[in-house]
């Protein structure tokens, strides 16, 4: 099994295990869904006929679109079986859901006139392949509208972690690379420029969460399945508990204000239209 395939299995298992409690903790993700819904409405001239939501999770994005476009045929895909199952239970026969891979979409060419995705693409290994697949299944002049977490996501946590590693083990220690790497806007723009989309809009916004302490922040990340969905070596190992304690102390000293600590999520929004002739 390749490292990429192993990573996908890890992501799928992690979100599969946390599907039932996901909605209680995915507060930033809910705000992203609301923003993405408004972006879709702003860029569509008429109701779409067939919509695909990649990384549909528990169905929040499709529910928002169903409320706005009640006659649209809805499809959802998720790598985590239990996420797709939660969506299916939510919608009944109103939508169809598939347990599948964003890098190998199990749909024919030009199957949809709208493809959306909220808070998913940060987990894919090859974002260029995912965008290619999105365009493949879109009809000519179809709309792609996605949002995912960018490079400044959880920068406070990552900065404090790297400082704790440096203090304990040195700046060159291999643990420095254990945190999840999020893509930046320039990387996304470069990928899309090579694919030849029309009317590409890339924007970034910041969403904030606040927690009483680092332990609660880490619990909230773990509760949605994100804590173990990143690198395979992201947790554990010799001295891990002590390292976490050091990180929490640095975080508290640097960012605690009025009894709470902040956590920043950078959200990258992409709106692109497939060329009508393609």
Question: Distance between CA 225 and CA 86 in Å, rounded?
Answer: 15
DSSP state of 108: -
Single pTM value for the model: 0.90
Query: 198-228, pLDDT tens digit by residue?
Result: 888 999 999 999 999 999 999 999 988 776 5
DSSP state of 19: T
| Average pLDDT for the chain | 90
Residue 161 — left, alpha, or beta (φ > 0 → left; ψ -120 to 50 → alpha)? alpha
Query: 152-182, pLDDT tens digit by residue?
Result: 999 999 999 999 999 999 988 888 877 778 9
199, 65, 74: which is closest to 141 by C-alpha?
199
- According to the model, what pLDDT value does residue 240 have? 80
Backbone phi and psi for residue 58, each to the nearest 5 degrees, phi listed first: -90, 10
What is the band of 232 on the pLDDT scale with cuts at 50, 70, 90?
very low
DSSP state of 174: G
How many CB atoms sit inside 10 A of residue 51's CB?
Answer: 25
DSSP state of 203: E
Question: Distance between CA 276 and CA 278 in Å, rounded?
Answer: 6
CATH domain 3-273 topology: Rossmann fold (3.40.50)
């Amino acid at each position: 099994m390749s490292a990429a395939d192993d990573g996908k299995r890890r992501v799928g298992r992690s979100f599969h295990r946390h599907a039932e409690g996901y909605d209680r903790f995915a507060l930033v993700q809910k705000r992203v869904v609301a923003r993405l819904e408004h972006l879709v409405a702003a860029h569509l001239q008429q109701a779409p006929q067939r919509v695909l939501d990649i990384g549909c999770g528990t169905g929040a994005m499709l529910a928002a679109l169903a409320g706005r476009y009640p006659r649209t045929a809805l499809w959802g895909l998720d790598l985590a079986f239990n996420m797709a199952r939660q969506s299916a239970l939510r919608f009944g026969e109103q939508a169809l859901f598939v347990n599948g891979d964003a890098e190998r979409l199990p749909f024919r060419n030009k199957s949809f006139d709208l493809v959306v995705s909220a808070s998913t693409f940060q987990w894919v290994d090859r974002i260029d392949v995912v965008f290619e697949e999105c365009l493949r299944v879109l009809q000519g002049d179809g709309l792609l509208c996605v949002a995912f977490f960018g490079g400044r996501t959880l920068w406070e946590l990552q900065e404090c972690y790297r400082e704790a590693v440096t203090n304990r083990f040195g700046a060159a220690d291999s643990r420095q690379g254990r945190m999840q790497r999020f893509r930046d806007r320039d990387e996304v723009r470069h990928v899309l420029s090579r694919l030849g989309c029309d009317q590409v809009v890339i924007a970034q916004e910041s969403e904030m969460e606040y927690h009483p302490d680092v332990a609660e922040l880490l619990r909230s990340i773990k509760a949605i399945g994100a804590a173990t969905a990143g690198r395979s070596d992201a947790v554990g190992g010799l001295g891990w508990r002590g390292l976490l304690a050091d990180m929490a102390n640095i975080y508290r000293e640097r960012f605690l204000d009025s009894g709470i600590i902040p956590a920043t999520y950078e959200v990258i929004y992409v709106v692109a239209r497939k060329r009508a002739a393609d």
